[in-house]
Structure 1
Amino acid sequence: MFGRRANRRRRSEIRLPGERGGRRTRAKILLAGLLVGAGAAYALLQAPVLLDAVGGVAPSMGSGETPVEVEAALAPADAAPMRHPAIDLVRSASLGPDGRMRAVLPDGRTATLTLDFELQRKMERILRDYRVPWGSLVAVEPGTGRILALAEHSAKGVAETAGLSLRPIAPAASVFKIVTSAALLEAGVGSDQRICYHGGLRRIRPAMLEDSRRDSRCVTLAEALGKSANVPFAKLAQRHLAPLQLRDMAERFFFDRPIALEGVDVVPSPLQMPDDPFEFATTAAGFHQGVRLTPLHGALVAATVANDGNLAQPFLVEAIDGQQVTSLPPRHVLDPLMAQELGRMMEQTVTNGTARAAFLERRRPALPGIRVAGKTGSLFERNPFRDASWFVGYAPLEAPRIAVSAVIVNEEIWHIRAPYVAREALRSYLLGTSPYRP
């Protein structure tokens, strides 16, 4: 009676207080977990999602930058279709027997476009197949301004799609750090200058701009750009720049200035530069909602750095009825040596910074042997929830052939973000690969 068998029988008959309820609770939790997992799996199956080794969404589909919270800033500028000759030309273009894209002008003449057919087709497909709520990819040739791709898509309908590439649908966010970096370099701040800080992932408070015992992290200006560290940029701008200096650099990069495309101005990227010292510092770090960016302009910002500090005027029509169209001369923005230094700083975004994971696939470089310079940006709003991600950049670093700008505005469930789209554009153009595996 008192042997091992009896002890086992007695233990099986004992019930601890609450044990039965605990088992029911665990069962409910398990069931809830299974339901959540099933919902996530269903969401992933709604688009041709690239999977990593363990079956989840690959890190390359996103971005390593912490998004900044904003208030009601991510909706497209308006829901009505935007009419611009460039948009009409892209939509009506067809492929000729010689592999060039052509469109008929309103006066009946035939325009030969600068678009790269394969790149344009692949980028339109990737945006469409992943059903992004709003998205655009613009690619240009840095030295000439030739537009290689002008792709856009909205899962919300055609009305909200037209002209996304030419509208400032989101704040520039941390992409504006490129402009701030250029102004700091011109003011004599070296890319290797170190600064220590604390906090500032999503918000910056005035106390963070003062040196403190809490400043446990130190970075160089180049590292701050690559990692998109907000407080270092705010600190450096407050100490080395004035609002007029930063505004001058931004205007040289064509913020708040119309960009002519096929003889018609594109909506400018608006620029608000506050005089208040704290507001100015946070604007320099990319926090101001009044500094917005069009995807076309984002590509031109990257192309300017790639082109030794010269902004080549963009154009889409290179010939009319076989006669070459004369392009406008480039505009000088930044000293060539400073532009080259800025490009090397931007490379850290891809090698060690916020886009590192996006430019790896299966832990290997997605563009082997090709050095890429870039800058990410990320922000979100809560009600309604929308998440915007940016990537602007160019490659190869030593002899740039293509500059890109991608913006993706997602809702709660997302499949891709801007760094992935930009990476696939670069890879498609430079290596001839397909954007994704079905």
Structure 2
Amino acid sequence: MRQGVAIFVAAGVVAATLPFIRDHDEALLSLLGKAKVAVTGGEQPLPQKTIDPPPLAGIELQYIDDRRDVVTAPAHGKRNAELTIDPVAQQAALGFLRRGRVHEGAVVMTDIRTGRVIVWANYNHGRPRDVASEANRPSASVFKVVTGAALIEAGVSLNDKICYSGGRRRITERELEADEKRDKYCASLGMAMGRSINTVFARQAVTRLDPEKLTGAAKRLGWGLDIPFDVPIEQSSLDIPQNDRLEFARAAAGFWHTTLSPFQGANLAQTIANGGEMVRTTLVERVLDEDGEVLYQRPKQRQVFKRVLDERTAWAVARMMEQTVRNGSAFKAFHDRAGRPFLPDIAVAGKTGTLAKKEHGGETLITWWVGFAPADKPEVALSVLVTNRGPWRVKGMHVAADMLRFYFADQGVKGVRYPPGFSGP
């Protein structure tokens, strides 16, 4: 239902991809303790002959061309890569980033069940960059998803309440100690996730977790791993303090010590939405040489690396993430001024993240959205990174809300309207 959909046609902006490719079999074996890949359903892939360099070498995502029905990117030499991207959704994502006048940003949307990339949009002032593949920005409060999973595994209940004080912008030793006189507010773990309450996560981490447990959960969910993908992806870094209680608490609450790529954000959301199963994400449909011969065809089978979370743990984390939109930090982005949802009858699970960083002689505001929808029957995972310098117009959660509105309006879901600037059929 996209006849007559008017969109902001965005200039192609993206980032550089290193001109090499991994050996997929070795990468798949190395992931998550050399777990076997489960393959279910679909057609058999085309037989592959030996090609030098490999078919997926040198794909330049900074030059994505979304002007036709089949979205493409140049590859090694005169090869051409056909991508799984939906051109209309891709243009919409770029339009939201441009309209928000962000300094840099990225939107990655995937089909949750198959792992197929629907949107891979990058925006950057200056030279083209593949921002979606870079992991040079702090995870911020998105890392609370990891801490939340580790706490559930440690036996913390969704409804267990802890009283707290302070910690809105920083965590000090004082905030780590319970004090009945100061601790006037109380919150469950679910509420703390939704409202991103730093002190609750910091205190729970120092009492219920240790560096080994938190590091283990983070690695299972993709941090510090070379996750197999069609193009090279920078690892999301992980440096959990081992002998510093305060810094450990800060890391658990999302203050520094880890980084995140937009790709990994989508991978995280996709894993939670799949009940704890990590599914391989794919972006390249085919690679053709200059004569039009098919050098590579995307396998149609769904590939599951491994179960990285117990299904009950993933369910609990998803319920916590629902609080973010229902009554937490993203409520205003997903509701109008009267409190009416932009996505009626669609529950959304997500996590926001915000950190300010001094760089280039000023302050850069880094904001994230990582989540999926519908929360009860997931269809798409969505990761959004927005960085602003100086006054800001949009944050990651605003772009995410518009992107989900666009997607479900385009699917013809009753009651969902396109965002301002877009018109339906």
Please give the range of the TM-score, normalised by the shorter of the 2 chains.
0.7 to 0.9
- 1:346 is aligned to 2:326: no
- 1:121 is aligned to 2:99: no
Q: By how many angstroms is 1:104 displaced?
A: 5.6
Tell me the TM-score normalized by structure 1. Answer: 0.76
Q: 5+ unaligned residues in a row in structure 1: which ranges?
A: 1-47, 49-78
CA distance in 1 between counterparts of 2:98 and 2:18 reads 21
* 1:377 equivalent in structure 2: 353
SS in 1 for 2:199: helix
* 2:63 equivalent in structure 1: 91
Deviations 1:149-183 (A, max 9, x none): 111112x21x2x41111112310010000000000
Deviations 1:175-228 (A, max 9, x none): 000000000001111111110010000111112111102010000000000000
Between the aligned residues of both structures, percent identity stands at: 38
* 2:336 equivalent in structure 1: 361
Q: How does 1:37-436 map to 2 (within 5 A)?
A: 81-83=16-18, 88-89=60-61, 91-94=63-66, 96=68, 99-103=69-73, 105-106=75-76, 111-154=81-124, 156-157=125-126, 159=127, 161-212=128-179, 213-262=181-230, 264-275=231-242, 276-288=244-256, 290-320=257-287, 321=294, 324-326=297-299, 328-363=303-338, 364-382=340-358, 383-432=361-410, 434-436=418-420
Tell me the TM-score normalized by structure 2. Answer: 0.78
Deviations 1:16-45 (A, max 9, x none): xxxxxxxxxxxxxxxxxxxxxxxxxxxxxx
Give the total of aligned pairs.
354
Shifted more, 129-138 versus 312-321: the winner is: 312-321
**Max radius of gyration: which structure?**
1
CA distance in 1 between counterparts of 2:194 and 2:144 reads 10
Q: By how many angstroms is 1:93 displaced?
A: 3.5
1:414 is aligned with what amino acid? W
Deviations 1:302-347 (A, max 9, x none): 1110011111111111345397422643322101121112111100
RMSD: 2.3
CA distance in 2 between counterparts of 1:137 and 1:241 reads 33
Q: By how many angstroms is 1:128 displaced?
A: 2.0
* 1:9 equivalent in structure 2: none
Cα contact 1:136–1:295 (8 A) shared by 2: yes
CA distance in 1 between counterparts of 2:365 and 2:58 reads 28
CA distance in 1 between counterparts of 2:18 and 2:73 reads 16
2:346 is aligned with what amino acid? I
Cα contact 1:208–1:231 (8 A) shared by 2: yes
* 1:42 equivalent in structure 2: none
Cα contact 2:176–2:202 (8 A) shared by 1: yes
Q: 5+ unaligned residues in a row in structure 2: which ranges?
A: 1-7, 9-13, 20-56, 288-293, 411-416
SS in 1 for 2:304: coil
Q: By how many angstroms is 1:142 displaced?
A: 1.6
